Amino acid sequence: MLSMIKKWFWYNWVIFALRTIWLAIIIISHVVYPAMIAGPFGVTIFFAFMVYLIPLIVPYRRENWYLAVEVLAAGLFYLYVAYVAPGLLWSFIILVMIIGVASNQKTYVWTGIPCGVIFPVLNGLITNRPPYEYMFSCSFGFAMGLAFGILIQSHKQARIIHEQKQLLEQHIKQIEELTLIEERNRLSHELHDTIGHSLTSLLVGVESLRSSVPDSQIERVDTLVAIAQRSLDGIRKHLHQLSDAQLSQLLGEALRELTKDFMQATGVTVNFRVIGSESLVMQEMSLCLYRCLQESLTNAVRHGQASVITVDLYFESQQLRLQIEDNGNGMESIQFGFGLNSMAERLEIHQGTLSVHSQPGRGTVVICNVPLQVEPVHGKIRLLIVDNQVLIADSLQQILSQQSDFIVVGTANKGQEALEQCEQCQPDIVLMDVHLQGLNGLDALLEMKQRWPNMKVVLMTTFEDSTQAGTAMEYGAEGYMLKSTQPREMVEAIKLIYRGGTWIDQSIATRLFEEMRRQRELLEKYSPNDPNGLTKREIEILQHLSEGLRYKSIAAKMYLSEGTVRNYCSNLYSKLGVNNREEAVELARSKGII
């Protein structure tokens, strides 16, 4: 109760003052005029304290009972006073005003009639006086309280609108900043593609030759690499003179900056801390957690009316955990709307999970878990590199072999040769160019998934092509990567894919998701085969779910990646309006879908 009192506004204190004044009138009347109260003073004071305290306590236990308790307690005490102290009947007007303040357009009828008619008439009968005076004074007091209540509601609405405006302004500002960053990255990738294989081959090739170049020539190698690197950096700088400090910083610094800006914009107290030894995190994973925190902060204030939020970022040995806890209103049941579903989908791409815990009046806790690393089965991740250009294949072999977690078990230049290498070497991950002589990358991918369903395949290309990327993911590829990807980013992406995640270059993903959205809208508009909007593929996956198969088994059976199956399941859960596979299967069977 004390925590609720701390949140009181001026009008709450005005009502509390009126109630206190009413109690003081009862006590002072007895002190000044002892003969005014004919009955036992102790009994009268006891009843008065009950009328004073109980309506203050009830709202924090059963809020919907408050008005009924207030009317009943005040009315019974009013009838009691009519017997023992008729001279104090006028004080009932104060209680009637308080009841009027708490009434609204749904309750004023059943609260106003007892206060303004029924109790005054009963008191008139008890005191043998005409009830008209009591009816007029009580009705007038109730009307004054009702008017004051309307004023309070207007003030509340104005305050809520102001808070929502601040929150939306902050949200829009953050969206604009992230959109600018993503757009700059997209344009940077496009310019990388326009220079084609030349700069890519130069950087990768020269870097791979470093270990075999004499010490006297190392300086020249450094110069060539620096020239090429400056060229790419110059393209970025000329594209946008915008700072992307939020994403170039360590993850902890970026999230701390986000909470600081949010606190300044909304006035909500946000406590942030990093627990554990912070390490570098892949850019896509950083952006995922950044968006999750942004959405959680917005929900905590907009829906939970929180005033204090605690954000903890845990760097653990096997996982990264982001925990957001608020002191808001909480919820009886967790409903995954658009915001929470978006967070869950973002985390699933990185093999992460989202959990939400909430209780009414006790706030909400949002936990985002993302695995950091998994030990390779063979001690090292076995890679097969397939590229049409021998220089790039050899260069990638040199770069990746220098990583302690990787071992390159083979290279190939053609699709058929890649299949033979897969048969002999059994790699964990295949890095394969899309454009190959003879059997191209997409056909080779399809063949690999049919023969080795558990083998992970990443397609690599120089040019962005959302249609090609969509086909690759449909065939079961775990990743679609640009060759211009920085070595560190490529290493982290390969580790993520090995852990079971899916990796698509950010610029390609944006185009791909937009294309998928358009196709889904057209399908639902022109081919409504299912009343729930389920596609043939989604119904097929739903059938497998009903058979008790897990995501991994479904992926192997349909020659898809596990991440793709998770995305399909997320979409069909949303279409059916359910939260998990059990509810989906039960609903599908009841509707005859399966």
pLDDT at 205: 66
Q: For residue 369, is it left (φ>0), alpha (ψ between -120 and 50) or beta?
A: beta
Tokens of 402: 């220098």
- For the segment 515-527, what is each residue's pLDDT rounded down to a tens digit? 666 665 655 544 4
pLDDT at 456: 92
Q: Is 499 exposed, middle or buried (0-12, 13-18, 19+ CB in 10 A)?
A: middle
Asked which of 226-235, 347-356, 416-425, 491-500 is least confident by mean pLDDT, the reply is 226-235
Tokens of 498: 């090995």
- CB-side neighbour CA atoms (13 Å) of 237: 6
pLDDT at 379: 63
Provide the pLDDT confidence category of residue 562 given band limits of 50, 70 and 90.
confident
- Rounded to a whole number of angstroms, the CA Rg of the chain reads 34
Residue 247 has pLDDT above 60, yes or no: no
In order, the DSSP letters of 354-396 are EEEEE-TTS-EEEEEEEE-----TTSSEEEEEE-SSHHHHHHH
CA distance 95 to 351: 59
CA distance 286 to 292: 10
CA distance 92 to 25: 11
CA distance 24 to 407: 85
pLDDT at 431: 93
Q: Are 555 and 565 in contact (CB under 8 A)?
A: yes
Task: Scan for tokens 């050899």, then name that residue.
Answer: 394
Q: Are 387 and 413 in contact (CB under 8 A)?
A: yes
Angle (CA) 288-342-264 rounded to 5° is 60
Q: Are 381 and 407 in contact (CB under 8 A)?
A: yes
- For the segment 420-468, what is each residue's pLDDT rounded down to a tens digit? 999 988 899 999 998 888 888 888 998 998 888 889 999 988 766 777 7
Tokens of 241: 């003179």
Residue type, 577: G
Task: Scan for tokens 């089965």, then name that residue.
Answer: 377
Evaluate the CA torsion angle 283, 240, 245, 195 in order and state its sign: positive
Cα-based distances in Å from 350 to 48, 133, 292, 347, 495: 63, 74, 13, 5, 11
Across the chain, mean pLDDT equals 78
Question: Looking at residue 65, what DSSP letter applies?
Answer: G
Evaluate the CA torsion angle 460, 462, 463, 464 in order and state its sign: positive
Element (H, E) at 586: helix 581-591
Provide the pLDDT confidence category of residue 132 given band limits of 50, 70 and 90.
confident
- For the segment 58-113, what is each residue's pLDDT rounded down to a tens digit? 765 666 777 888 888 888 888 888 878 887 878 888 888 888 888 887 888 888 88
Strands 269-275 and 308-315: parallel
Task: Scan for tokens 């304290």, then name that residue.
Answer: 49
CA distance 168 to 162: 10
CA distance 505 to 465: 11
Task: Scan for tokens 């002190």, then name that residue.
Answer: 31
Greatest Cα-to-Cα distance within the chain, rounded to the nearest angstrom: 118
- CB-side neighbour CA atoms (13 Å) of 543: 12
Instruction: Tell me how crowded residue 523 is: count the other CB atoms within 10 A of its CB.
Output: 14
- pTM, to two decimals: 0.39
- For the segment 455-502, what is each residue's pLDDT rounded down to a tens digit? 999 998 876 677 778 788 878 888 888 877 777 788 888 888 887 778
CA distance 449 to 559: 6
Angle (CA) 44-50-54 rounded to 5° is 165
Residue type, 175: I
Backbone angles phi, psi at 155, to 5 degrees: -65, -40
Query: Among 316-320, 332-336, 392-396, 439-443, which range has the highest average pLDDT?
Result: 439-443
For the chain, the distance separating the N- and C-terminal CA atoms, rounded to the nearest angstrom, is 52
Tokens of 346: 């973002």
